[in-house]
Amino acid sequence: MTAKKTEKSEKASDDAEMDESKLPFPRATIVNMVRKNLDQNKQIKGRVKDEMNIWLGKLVEKLSKKMNSYPYTYVDYGMFKDAISVYEQMEEIEDEKERIIKYLDKIKADLEMLEKEVDKKFKL
C-alpha cells in the first residue's frame, strides 16, 4: 500500500463514527462537553468523539467497581470521594510538578547570573 493510500485510509477511519448504540453515553453529550473547552474554530474528529466516550465509560466502570468493593449495601459520597481520590491526586501532582519546574527555572536563572558575576570579577 502506498503512503497516500495509507494516509487516506487513516483519515477515513479517523472521521468514521461508531454506531451510537455501542457507546456508553450519547455522543452529543460528550461532544458538547468537549466543545465547551476547545477554541471555537477547532473541529473534533469522529474517532476522538468515540474514543473519549469509550474512555469515559471505562472510567465510570472503574469507579463503580471501586465503590462496589465496600461491604455495605449502599454507596455514599465518602466512597465516591475515595474512588476518585487517585484522579484528584494526579491533578495535585501535576500542579506540584509545574511549581517545582518553575522553582528550578528560577534557580537556574540565579545560577547563570552568579556565573556571569564570577566571570566578571575573576577574569584571568
Residue 31 pLDDT class (50, 70, 90 cuts): very high
**Cα separation values, 30 from 93, 118, 120, Å:** 26, 58, 60
Domain ranges for the chain, please list them.
12-69, 85-124
Instruction: Identify which has the larger pLDDT, 13 or 97.
Output: 97
Q: What pLDDT score was predicted for residue 83?
A: 94
Predicted local confidence at residue 28, as pLDDT = 93
Asked if the model's pLDDT at residue 81 lies above 80, the reply is: yes
